[in-house]
Amino acid sequence: MTDIDVKEYKVVDVPKEKLNNGLEIPLLGLGTWKAEPGVVGKAVENALKLGYRHIDCAALYHNQDEVGRTLHKVFKEGKVKREDVWITSKLDNKDHDPERVIEACKETLRELQIEQLDLFLMHWPIAAKEGPSVTWQAMEKLVDDGLVKTIGVSNFSVKKLEARPLNLLSDLRSHARIQPAVQQIEGHPYFRNNYNIHFCKTHGMHVTAYSPLGTPDSASMTHRDKNVPVLLHDPLVQKVSKKHGKNPAQVLIRWGIQRGTSVIPKATTVEHMKGNLEAANWEMPPEDFKDLNFLGYQKRMVDGSAWFIRPEGPYKNLTDLWDFEEQTGWPPGESTVGIEVK
């Protein structure tokens, strides 16, 4: 539960990055995945009071209505202006039919009690038989209609983003009138995802890294090699933490920001939110940053297998879903030379 209520609203200078449409996204936000009902609303309110100006939501999280009540209250009080808060949401997997996209977006806007989203993402590359391009065309119309400022994707492999029509799910960019501005994917020192991030940066897409603390409660982490600690307890993370007088979460958040990704750690207590926010404005020395870039253990923690791997579905195994990026983030035969993301 949230431990205390923050009394006063603060302004904190969080670094931002300009997107390919000219808008700027704060590099630290509050994630709401797994934030429980009855807790998430107060967490969002306290986060805004502490100085957060980036809130990450999704229909799939089933808590947007509570987040919306908080946003309505805060904006009505006038302590924080709507235009000063970056709000992201995501298209649910069941709504990829072009005829459902606009209504799904409007439903999200109703739940969040706002008139326009700063960013709307295709949450997963689950699509109709025509491929994601038909869904993307409906996403573009959301921008045309003023419901959304920015559109992007989440959990797309490089192959599914490429312009080459290798299969039904690889044609998004070649059919895009409005190019994706953001890709949201897993990213932390135990799964750096450099291949995907390098591709996105090369093609003008900003990357938001979810699970920046390594998702220690994920099924993949539970079934990890027992000789590998959870990321927060990794000896190197602990060493850097003690060296700079930071906690392990601050080290991991700073690492994510310093490599140019925005990060959206979930937190519901004021102590954790405040500590995470403080990580936005310190500089990790290059030698420590580089050491974290080369942690040997690499494993995708959020692999989607429980949700999408079905004998009757388009993805029958993890390779179908991630196109050989499922384990280390690198497809077989790809050179790693020159793709260290900084």
Interval 314-327: pLDDT, tens: 778 877 777 777 66
Residue 340: CB atoms within 10 A of its CB come to 13
Could you tell me if 83 and 90 are in contact, meaning their C-beta atoms sit under 8 angstroms apart?
no
Q: Which of 165-169, 170-174, 175-179 has the lowest mean pLDDT?
A: 165-169
Q: How far apart are CA 289 and CA 222, in angstroms?
A: 26
The confidence score (pLDDT) of residue 107 equals 98
244 is in an annotated binding site: no
- Residue 244 and residue 86: Cα distance in Å, rounded? 30
Degrees to nearest 5, angle at CA 76 with 74 and 36: 35
Exposed/middle/buried for residue 174 (C-beta within 10 Å: 0-12, 13-18, 19+): exposed
| Alpha helix segments (H runs only) across 235-294 | 235-244, 248-258, 270-278, 286-293
Q: Which alpha helices (DSSP H) does 51-97 contain, by range? A: 64-77
Is it true that domain 16-322 has CATH number 3.30.1370.60? no
pLDDT of amino acid 319: 79
Task: Pick the range with the lowest mean pLDDT from 45-54, 132-141, 209-218, 324-333.
Answer: 324-333
CB atoms closer than 10 angstroms to residue 101: 23
**Spatial separation of the C-alpha atoms in residues 120 and 149, rounded to whole Å:** 8
- pLDDT digits over 277-289, tens only? 999 999 999 999 9
* Residue-averaged pLDDT of the chain: 87
Query: What mean pLDDT is predicted for residues 95-112?
Result: 95
Q: How far apart are CA 24 and CA 182, in angstroms?
A: 11
pTM score of the predicted model? 0.89
The predicted model gives 240-244 an average pLDDT of 98
- Say what the pLDDT of residue 77 is: 95
Give the pLDDT band of residue 310 (cuts 50, 70, 90).
confident
Per DSSP, the three-state class of 263 is strand
Confidence of residue 302 (pLDDT cuts 50, 70, 90): confident
Mean pLDDT lowest for which of 25-29, 223-227, 289-293?
223-227
Mean pLDDT across 162-191: 74
Q: What is the pLDDT of residue 272?
A: 96
Residue type, 153: V
* Residue 150 scores a pLDDT above 70: yes
Are the beta carbons of 63 and 35 closer than 8 angstroms? yes
Of 311 and 108, the one with more pLDDT: 108
| Planar angle of CA 71, 74, 79, nearest 5 degrees | 140
- The token pair that represents 26 in the structure block: 């704060």
Which residues are designated catalytic? 61
Bridge partner residues of 188 (DSSP): 191
Q: What is the percent of the chain with per-residue pLDDT over 70, rounded to a whole number?
A: 86
Q: Which amino acid is at 185?
A: I
Band (pLDDT 50/70/90 cuts) for residue 169 is very low
